[in-house]
Homo-oligomer: A and B are copies of this chain.
Amino acid sequence: MEKLFVFVPVGAVAALLFAFFQARNVLGFSEGNDLMRKISGSIRQGANAYLKRQYAGVSLFFALMFVLLGVMAYAGFLTPFVPFAFITGGFFSGLSGFVGMKIATAANARTAQASSESLNRGLRVAFSAGTVMGFTVVGLGLLDLSIWFFLLKYVFYAYLAGNEALQINAISSAMLTFGMGASSMALFARVGGGIFTKAADVGADLVGKVEAGIPEDDPRNPAVIADNVGDNVGDVAGMGADLYESYVGSIVATIALAVAAGYNFGGAAVPMLMAAVGTLASIAGTFFVGCKEKTDQKTLLRALRKGTYVSSGIIILAALPVIYFSLDCASYPQRMGVYGAVLSGLLAGVLIGYFTEYYTSNTYKPTRELADSSLTGPATIIIGGISLGMFSTLLPVIIVGVSVLASFFLSGGTIGSKEGFAQGLYGVGISAVGMLSTLGITLATDAYGPVADNAGGIAEMAGLPPEVRERTDALDSLGNTTAATGKGFAIGSAALTALALIVAYLDEIKLISKDFSFNLDITNPPVLIGLFLGTMLPFLFSSMTMKAVGRAAQNIVREVRRQFKEITGLMEGTAEADYAACVDICTRSAQKEMIAPAITGIVSPIIIGLALGVNGVAGMLAGATATGFVLAVMMANAGGAWDNAKKHIEAGSHGGKGSEAHKAAVVGDTVGDPFKDTSGPSINILIKLLSMVSIVFAGLIVKFSILK
């Protein structure tokens, strides 16, 4: 069984090589004419400038944290690996986002150019760019995991080799802490990127569309480049860092649960091998993506979906031998049960994605009815959208609930016995890994979206012929659907990962203080109050990120108004807008505004821990995970539905563009922007970050908390 671990770095290398060849493939396409090259260059430049600034700011934070963690390690509250693990987690998470952004900004003009040849070529370029991102994330994740795993097992903790349980506990405990680095990086990337993209978008719309009356993506709008930059830094770099973190987090959390379940290294092997196998399956799946010319939305969607289905099918077949051979310490029914947990996770991912689409796509009833409510003005479409978002939380909660129960009981979970209980929880962890096993290709279809969106923008700005824009529009519109599905998937996996992390946290406490007496009973006041505080945190956090978008957008509004007024000939098209100024404002605003929410996420578990102790932290984590999940689904779906209700009207319903209904729908869409692209997705990371911080600072809390 020990030999099987070697497949993990193999998976990592395969993913990175595949990403490399796909990148070469994308770069082999033409960037089109000079104008396209120039526009794409400006976007690239803006995105680079933003990320450079962001990484500079975040580096400072990481340096500070490194020192702080170093001091704590020196004082004996942490193992000496923690500061280093923290840094590598942050580094790889950031690198995932960086590579994704690089390829996305390289692929946008190429997608537009390829679309001028055929729809299938356009799809291929955009999707290939998506795969670069997808496989970089999983490749770097597996690489980081492998390096640490082998270093810890064969070098640092080799002296523990005689005691398997002790050794793996030490390993998982060290590895868990690089999750905190990844989460911190992801939070900065998501929040900063989310603020950037929506400030630019909202600012551009408010002045451009509403005040000046010029269409979207019009080159005369000074914020138009910033808007396109935003797609890359928010939806690509932010998303990459986010899912990197979910991916690694779910695997590490499951490894941490393996010991209590009595599985030791066999149990640790399953999530790592599942991930490696999933990577290979995802690579295979990408070869099934393609379409013919002259195809409708549905066929195009099916073309993209086929890849995911093929990958899932391969995983379903391959997971059985992987589990059978790795878990050789477990009984036959137990192995079958763990296999069942993988299936339940996979299925839950598919179902959540499906219902997300149902509630947000304008081919279904909910969004169409929402579009109808625009007829009575902005107030009714706002009420309708919030109501739709709230209602849409019902099924995802039930799906997650059934999936948790199924994976718990299938994996041999029993509530009475201690080991049986741990085995069930291990199954829950495995179901998260199962859901994320197809991440390579799922993320590819997701990252495809912003590339297609940018391509549409470039086609518009470069004045390409109408049939090209029709094709890029088809690709873009598809991107909205895959983005919605991807968001559902990101939220679902975040919830399962966070649940696994809560249990990992409690295991960590047991490691630190063997005779710690838990009282996690929900009627225990610290637990209960922790629960209340945890419930409130996602609301507080969303409030901060939404307000940040509002303030940043105001800065853009002022700048665009200034340029319209001061640059003569801008509206006539004889003078050029100062795009860089808007990019710069977005960058500075995003950098400034991301600090407070990020600090809130990092500091809250420490303060709550110091006040309420371990039991309070556990309550807080449970409350934040449940509420964060529900609120994130609500915000993502309300935002998606408003966006598509607007698109539905623009396609000709209720009077089409320029009608009163359309104006109302634009209000809905503008409210939905920070919902779906800033606050909602950031909550996913928040709930994982809270757990990660709790785990890293567990020693401190055990020692110094006021309540025990």
Contact partners of A535 in chain B: CB under 8 A: 397, 535, 626-627, 629-630
Contact yes or no, B397 A671, CB < 8 A: no
User: Given A522-B618, A626-B535, are A528 and B499 neighbors across the interface (CB < 8 Å)?
Assistant: yes
Contact yes or no, B623 A550, CB < 8 A: no
User: Given A618-B522, A619-B522, A627-B630, are A394 and B550 neighbors across the interface (CB < 8 Å)?
Assistant: no
- A-B pairs with beta carbons under 8 Å apart, 20 shown: A206-B376, A210-B377, A376-B557, A378-B378, A379-B666, A382-B671, A383-B674, A388-B543, A390-B539, A390-B542, A391-B543, A397-B533, A397-B535, A401-B532, A405-B529, A413-B525, A415-B524, A518-B521, A528-B622, A531-B622
Q: Hey, what's the 0/1 contact readout for A1-33 against B, CB within 8 Å counting as 1?
A: 000000000000000000000000000000000
A534 vs B386: C-alpha distance in the bound complex, in angstroms?
19
Whether a CB of chain B sits under 8 angstroms from the CB of A45 is no
A540 vs B387: C-alpha distance in the bound complex, in angstroms?
8
Contact partners of A522 in chain B: CB under 8 A: 502, 520, 522, 527, 531, 618-619, 622
Secondary structure class of chain A's binding surface, majority of residues: helix
Contact yes or no, B383 A549, CB < 8 A: yes
Contact yes or no, B502 A626, CB < 8 A: no
A506 vs B523: C-alpha distance in the bound complex, in angstroms?
9
Whether a CB of chain B sits under 8 angstroms from the CB of A475 is no
Contact yes or no, A379 B670, CB < 8 A: yes
In-complex Cβ contact of A546 among B386, B405, B674 (8 A): B386
**Which 6 A-B residue pairs are closest in the complex by CB-CB distance?**
A390-B543, A379-B670, A391-B543, A401-B529, A535-B626, A397-B536
Whether a CB of chain B sits under 8 angstroms from the CB of A519 is yes
A344 vs B556: C-alpha distance in the bound complex, in angstroms?
47
Q: Hey, what's the 0/1 contact readout for A115-154 against B, CB within 8 Å counting as 1?
A: 0000000000000000000000000000000000000000
Contact partners of A389 in chain B: CB under 8 A: 543
Shortest Cβ distance from A527 into chain B, in angstroms?
7
**A residues 264-287 with Cβ under 8 Å of B?**
none
The residue in A394, A534, A549, A629 that gathers the most chain B C-beta atoms within 10 A of its C-beta is A394
A328 vs B401: C-alpha distance in the bound complex, in angstroms?
48
User: Given A522-B618, A523-B506, are A536 and B393 neighbors across the interface (CB < 8 Å)?
Assistant: yes
Shortest Cβ distance from A161 into chain B, in angstroms?
31
Whether a CB of chain B sits under 8 angstroms from the CB of A667 is yes
Contact partners of A428 in chain B: CB under 8 A: 525
A522 vs B210: C-alpha distance in the bound complex, in angstroms?
50
The residue in A390, A519, A666 that gathers the most chain B C-beta atoms within 10 A of its C-beta is A390
Contact yes or no, B524 A383, CB < 8 A: no
User: Given A390-B542, A521-B520, are A667 and B379 neighbors across the interface (CB < 8 Å)?
Assistant: yes
Contact yes or no, B520 A408, CB < 8 A: no
> Can you name the residue of chain B whose Cβ is closest to the Cβ of A375?
B554
Contact yes or no, B382 A532, CB < 8 A: no
A382 vs B202: C-alpha distance in the bound complex, in angstroms?
14
Whether a CB of chain B sits under 8 angstroms from the CB of A588 is no
Contact partners of A543 in chain B: CB under 8 A: 386-391
A550 vs B421: C-alpha distance in the bound complex, in angstroms?
47
In-complex Cβ contact of A554 among B376, B421, B549, B618 (8 A): B376
Contact yes or no, A525 B404, CB < 8 A: yes
Contact yes or no, A531 B387, CB < 8 A: no
Whether a CB of chain B sits under 8 angstroms from the CB of A70 is no
Chain A interface residue count, CB cutoff 8 Å, equals: 81
A503 vs B523: C-alpha distance in the bound complex, in angstroms?
7
Whether a CB of chain B sits under 8 angstroms from the CB of A175 is no
Shortest Cβ distance from A481 into chain B, in angstroms?
23
A629 vs B379: C-alpha distance in the bound complex, in angstroms?
25
> Can you name the residue of chain B whose Cβ is closest to the Cβ of A608?
B401
Contact yes or no, B387 A532, CB < 8 A: no
Whether a CB of chain B sits under 8 angstroms from the CB of A425 is yes
A618 vs B527: C-alpha distance in the bound complex, in angstroms?
13
Whether a CB of chain B sits under 8 angstroms from the CB of A432 is no
**A residues 37-95 with Cβ under 8 Å of B?**
none
Whether a CB of chain B sits under 8 angstroms from the CB of A602 is no
Contact partners of A210 in chain B: CB under 8 A: 377
Shortest Cβ distance from A256 into chain B, in angstroms?
13
Whether a CB of chain B sits under 8 angstroms from the CB of A424 is yes
Contact yes or no, B520 A523, CB < 8 A: yes
Whether a CB of chain B sits under 8 angstroms from the CB of A455 is no
Contact yes or no, A391 B531, CB < 8 A: no
> Can you name the residue of chain B whose Cβ is closest to the Cβ of A549?
B383
Q: Hey, what's the 0/1 contact readout for A629-658 against B, CB within 8 Å counting as 1?
A: 110001000000000000000000000000
Contact yes or no, B390 A540, CB < 8 A: yes
Whether a CB of chain B sits under 8 angstroms from the CB of A380 is yes
Shortest Cβ distance from A128 into chain B, in angstroms?
36
A415 vs B528: C-alpha distance in the bound complex, in angstroms?
13
Contact yes or no, A536 B424, CB < 8 A: no
Whether a CB of chain B sits under 8 angstroms from the CB of A192 is no
Q: Hey, what's the 0/1 contact readout for A544-570 against B, CB within 8 Å counting as 1?
A: 101101100110010000000000000
Contact partners of A319 in chain B: CB under 8 A: none
Whether a CB of chain B sits under 8 angstroms from the CB of A105 is no
Q: Hey, what's the 0/1 contact readout for A415-451 against B, CB within 8 Å counting as 1?
A: 1000001001100100000000000000000000000
Whether a CB of chain B sits under 8 angstroms from the CB of A179 is no
A539 vs B391: C-alpha distance in the bound complex, in angstroms?
7
Whether a CB of chain B sits under 8 angstroms from the CB of A400 is yes
